Amino acid sequence: MSTLAARDHAVLWHPYTQMQTAALPIPIVRGEGAWLYTEDGTAYLDGISSWWVNLHGHAHPRIAARVAQQLQTLEHVLFAGFTHPPAVELAEGLLEILPPNQRRIFYSDNGSTAVEVALKMALQYHHNLGQPRRTIVAFRDSYHGDTFGAMAVSSRGAFTAPFAPLLFDVAFIDVPVPGREVEALAQLEAVAAQGDVAAFIFEPLLLGTAGMLTYSAEALDELLGSCHRHGILAIADEVMTGFGRTGQLFACDYLAERPDMVCLSKGLTGGTMALGVTSCAGPVYDAFLSDDKLKTFFHGHSYTANPVACAAGLASLELLRDPACAANIARMATAHQVFQAEITGQPGVRDVRLLGTVLAVEFEEAATTSYFSSLRDELYELALQRRVILRPLGNIIYLMPPYCTTDAELSLLYDTVRAMRELVVGRNQ
């Protein structure tokens, strides 16, 4: 038994983990490129970017150098009444690449807080205008985080059941997956007509936790058009889709309509440090400008705009804007397309979904599909035995590798999915 894993087991409590039955955690001591290394030197290929955060590879030297330099210059300063270069430069850089109507950057700590900030901003926007609205609209299958507001606007299920009575009411509408576009729009129109909807929050084009569900830009444009006709603020949760994952810098770049707010985290620092951003369009910001102090946005965190995290964000942004990164994203998207063509329609495969660098394969499963199914554990184990990190969502396996992943490394991932399909076929016989 690894001493680190044993010591961990004595003192730690891991996320999304049933500690009584879980296997000991795999102790990782070093990372490089798309690889993670254990104490004894075993290498694991990170096919899911360490929970969707890593963009350019682990322990990237350019990000590390920038962080080290910032640590020796200024580690932190409070962000009310004070500012610092990394916060300003990162905000300027983000506004250059975000949808062009975005005007202001509000920092927080992670994806969930970026969502909390967006929800509070939207509600207070209407309050400040003197026309309070209370209803939030969200997709039934969405995931927006684990804090209370984020949970409230997320899919209700086993994870949220213990808290259900305390979650505020949300108007859920269907995801406009192919064939459901008309219903989703009708549901939004019906709730919008009541005049009380403050905001619509959505994962643009790709719902991650729901199983990498995809829907069209045209369908989302219709929903956003309806929002804007009814004075409803559109909040794009790009925590997962941001920074190139979908093949464009942001999923919203596929749209004709513009979001009023954008939530960012995960890839924001290239997967190096925790940082969240909520950006907003001019009219949202303007609703908070007043001689009346009560119109202030009274929200902040101790580590708001932490300089070290912002420095990591700046270094990651530089790497992202390097043409070599765009070339890697395009190369990965093409490789995924080739694999999609190969595996689509094969026995055991129910559906294959692809958007940019994210590929999902939904397997046929005889029993009911859920996060808790034994197929999920078998697929997970199969990947680990091949020294590949892939975390199935029930009967769905997805690839979301760092952009630096080479063609040879991608082949290892595809081989693993091929082996998983064989396992599924054998199991269903």
| Residue among 84 and 266 whose Cβ is closer to ligand PLP | 266
**Choice from 208, 247, 348, 401 touching ligand PLP (CB under 6 A):** 208
Burial of 197 by CB count in 10 Å (0-12 exposed, 13-18 middle, 19+ buried)? buried
Q: How far is the CB of 119 from ligand PLP (least distance, A)?
A: 12
Q: Which of 125, 143, 215, 403 is catalytic?
A: 143
- If one asks whether residue 239 binds ligand PLP (CB under 6 A), the answer comes out as yes
Q: How far is the CB of 366 from ligand PLP (least distance, A)?
A: 29
Strand 171-173 and strand 197-202: pairing?
A: unpaired
Distance CA 94, CA 56 (A): 18
Site string for ligand PLP, 253-272 (x = CB under 6 A): ------------xx------
Phi/psi at 392 (5° precision): -65, 145
266 is catalytic: yes
- If one asks whether residue 111 binds ligand PLP (CB under 6 A), the answer comes out as yes
**Choice from 237, 257, 260, 362 touching ligand PLP (CB under 6 A):** 237
- If one asks whether residue 116 binds ligand PLP (CB under 6 A), the answer comes out as no
User: Could you please report the per-residue DSSP string of 30-69?
Assistant: EEEBTEEEETT--EEEETTHHHHT-SS-BT-HHHHHHHHH
Residue with tokens 């992943």: 405
- If one asks whether residue 110 binds ligand PLP (CB under 6 A), the answer comes out as yes
- If one asks whether residue 143 binds ligand PLP (CB under 6 A), the answer comes out as yes
User: Could you please report the per-residue DSSP string of 308-327?
Assistant: HHHHHHHHHHHHHHSHHHHH
Q: How far is the CB of 131 from ligand PLP (least distance, A)?
A: 28
Distance CA 279, CA 156 (A): 27
**Choice from 145, 176, 267, 313 touching ligand PLP (CB under 6 A):** 145
Stretch touching ligand PLP by CB under 6 A, among 107-115, 296-304, 324-332, 348-356: 107-115
16 is catalytic: yes
Distance CA 51, CA 29 (A): 17
**Choice from 98, 223, 240, 320 touching ligand PLP (CB under 6 A):** 240
Stretch touching ligand PLP by CB under 6 A, among 120-128, 233-241, 346-354, 402-410: 233-241
Distance linking the first and last C-alpha atoms of the chain: 37
| Residue among 33 and 300 whose Cβ is closer to ligand PLP | 300
Q: How far is the CB of 239 from ligand PLP (least distance, A)?
A: 4
Report the sign of the C-alpha dihedral through residues 210, 211, 212, 213, in that order: negative
Q: How far is the CB of 46 from ligand PLP (least distance, A)?
A: 16
Report the sign of the C-alpha dihedral through residues 25, 28, 32, 35, in that order: negative
Report the interface residues with ligand PLP, using CB under 6 A: 110-112, 115, 143-145, 203, 208, 237, 239-240, 265-266
Query: So which residues are the catalytic ones?
Result: 16, 143, 237, 266
